[in-house]
């Protein structure tokens, strides 16, 4: 007689047990019980056919839920602002603000008068307070949009003077020259890849100049025989100077001494500074424009500004980020290597207690996301065989590390400390099941 006690199909969780799983119960409330039950039955059948293990049925059902949305990932890559993982993780304050703003909110209404008010005025006030050197501020939906708006308003049918060494590709095949020329502006390239002088700019500036553009090449560094012109000299040429700092650093930061910031550029005389909100600022995706009040007002009133405006959720997250700047990004940047070592060592010890051998190794993390190129941050990581990378990436939750010289490193600099237990369970699950499961 067959011993049913060892038949793995007997270990497939019952439907009522699965429906009580908080994740599936929440899905049933939003998608309907019948749809979620169909997903559960599908996962159970996969287990009975031997495609997945019985204990993986809950995770398989959750993964198959309709419209599940983006899946949270543990970022153990050592790249703090990982573009493919959405760059900056929002602070608790920003998340709470987004939830609060998800219903009706006075984004464009003065509750005192009952009349229409400036859209996102509280977030704009917070941005202005963060950079007092800006006479006025405006926000659009991303950094590229900020440049497009500036080029459209100031240089459509006119010239933008820019150094050849600053004509960068900003990611996913989008190149700055293509972006700017799409506005109807003409590019006047000056200098060479490694050296551009004030005389080069002066030669190109004329009656047809819309503005001089200075771009921070935020995803690469040119070293050696190089020359660039500071903003303080460019402003002597008598035309507006637009500075794209890229990373969203609003004020000088000793930890990143070579990273340009908005306040310094404005003090040097820049007419307009553009930046991203979801990089070093640590907020939501947004394009920040800061500068002369007359110029910013021209940008705000242009018809294109309507197409590039941000929604209420972005304004809510941005305001919370500016008022409570202790973001996950800055906690990761300022994490002390000694504390990171202790966390990794505790992770190693917990895994060793379960009978698995891993190593603690010193490594280097980076800022990423087009910010602070060349800056290396001392860090510590758990080292696993490379063969576990895929299983961890496809786990619940997914864990992304980086592969270096045949080993998988789980760098904890970008992992919040409150995720350590979740990371430990994810690693133990994969080590127990093996890399192929």
Q: Provide the mean pLDDT of the chain.
A: 91
Region 300-322: mean pLDDT is 97
Laid out side by side, the sheet with 136-140 consists of 136-140, 287-291, 272-276, 241-246, 209-215, 159-163, 186-190
Report which of 118, 132, 179, 163 is spatially closest to residue 291, judged by C-alpha positions: 132
359-365/377-385 β-pairing: antiparallel
Per-residue model confidence as pLDDT tens digits over 20-62:
888 888 888 777 788 888 889 988 988 888 888 888 888 888 8
Confidence at residue 244, expressed as pLDDT on a 0 to 100 scale:
95
Report which of 394, 429, 432, 388 is spatially closest to residue 410, judged by C-alpha positions: 388
Per-residue model confidence as pLDDT tens digits over 159-201:
999 999 888 877 666 788 999 999 999 999 999 988 999 999 9
Confidence at residue 1, expressed as pLDDT on a 0 to 100 scale:
43
Q: Is the pLDDT of residue 235 over 50?
A: yes
Label residue 2 by pLDDT band (50, 70, 90).
very low
Label residue 222 by pLDDT band (50, 70, 90).
low
N-term to C-term CA, the chain: 30
Buried b (16+ CB within 10 A) or exposed e, 343-382: bbeebbebbeeeeeebebeebebbbbbbbbbebebebbbb
For residues 185 and 63, the model is more confident at 185
Which positions ≥6 away from 334 have C-beta within 8 Å? 255
Whether residue 246 contacts residue 218, with contact meaning beta carbons closer than 8 Å, is answered with yes
- The pair phi, psi for residue 357, each rounded to 5°, is -100, 125
Tokens of 339: 């504390």
C-alpha 404/C-alpha 386 separation (Å) is 8
Per-residue model confidence as pLDDT tens digits over 201-214:
999 999 999 999 99
Per-residue model confidence as pLDDT tens digits over 341-393:
999 999 999 999 999 999 999 999 999 876 777 789 999 999 999 999 999 99
pTM (2 d.p.): 0.83
Report which of 416, 405, 279 is spatially closest to residue 335, judged by C-alpha positions: 416
* H helix or E strand, kind and range, residue 137: strand 136-140
Tokens of 235: 């402003």
């Amino acid at each position: 007689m067959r011993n049913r006690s060892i038949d793995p199909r007997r270990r497939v969780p019952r439907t009522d047990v699965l429906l009580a799983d908080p994740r599936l119960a929440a899905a049933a409330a939003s998608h309907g019980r019948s749809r979620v039950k169909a997903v559960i039955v599908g996962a159970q059948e996969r287990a009975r056919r031997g495609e997945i293990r019985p204990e993986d049925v809950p995770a398989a059902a959750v993964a198959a839920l309709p419209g599940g949305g983006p899946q949270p990932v543990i970022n153990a890559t050592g790249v703090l602002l990982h573009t493919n993982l959405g760059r900056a993780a929002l602070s608790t304050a920003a998340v709470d603000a987004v939830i609060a703003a998800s219903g009706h909110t006075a984004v464009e209404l003065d509750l005192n008068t009952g009349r229409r008010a400036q859209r996102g005025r509280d977030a704009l006030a917070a941005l202005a307070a963060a950079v007092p050197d800006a006479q006025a501020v405006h926000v659009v939906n991303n950094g590229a949009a900020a440049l497009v708006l500036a080029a459209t308003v100031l240089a459509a049918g006119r010239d933008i003077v820019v150094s050849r060494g600053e004509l960068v590709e900003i990611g996913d095949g989008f190149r700055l020259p293509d972006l700017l020329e799409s506005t109807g502006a003409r590019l006047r390239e000056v200098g060479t890849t490694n050296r551009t002088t004030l005389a080069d700019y002066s030669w190109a500036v004329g009656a047809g100049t819309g503005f001089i553009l200075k771009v921070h090449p935020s995803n690469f560094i040119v070293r050696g025989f190089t020359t660039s012109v500071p903003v303080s000299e460019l402003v002597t040429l008598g035309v507006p100077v637009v500075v794209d700092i890229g990373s969203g650093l609003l004020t000088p930061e000793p930890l990143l001494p070579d990273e340009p910031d908005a306040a310094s550029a404005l003090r040097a005389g820049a007419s307009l500074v553009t930046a991203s909100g979801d990089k070093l600022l640590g907020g939501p995706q947004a394009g920040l424009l800061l500068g002369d009040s007359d110029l910013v007002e021209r940008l705000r009133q242009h018809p294109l500004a309507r197409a590039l405006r941000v929604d209420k959720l972005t304004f809510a997250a941005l305001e919370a980020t500016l008022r409570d700047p202790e973001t996950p990004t800055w906690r990761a940047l300022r994490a002390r290597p000694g504390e990171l070592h202790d966390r990794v060592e505790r992770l190693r010890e917990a895994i060793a207690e379960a009978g698995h051998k891993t190593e603690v190794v010193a490594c280097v993390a980076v800022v990423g996301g087009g910010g602070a190129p060349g800056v290396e941050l001392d860090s510590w990581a758990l080292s696993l065989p490379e063969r576990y990378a895929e299983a961890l990436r496809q786990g619940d939750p997914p864990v992304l590390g980086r592969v270096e010289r045949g080993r998988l490193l789980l760098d904890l600099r970008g992992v919040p400390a409150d995720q350590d237990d979740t990371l430990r369970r994810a690693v133990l699950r994969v080590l127990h099941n093996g890399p192929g499961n």
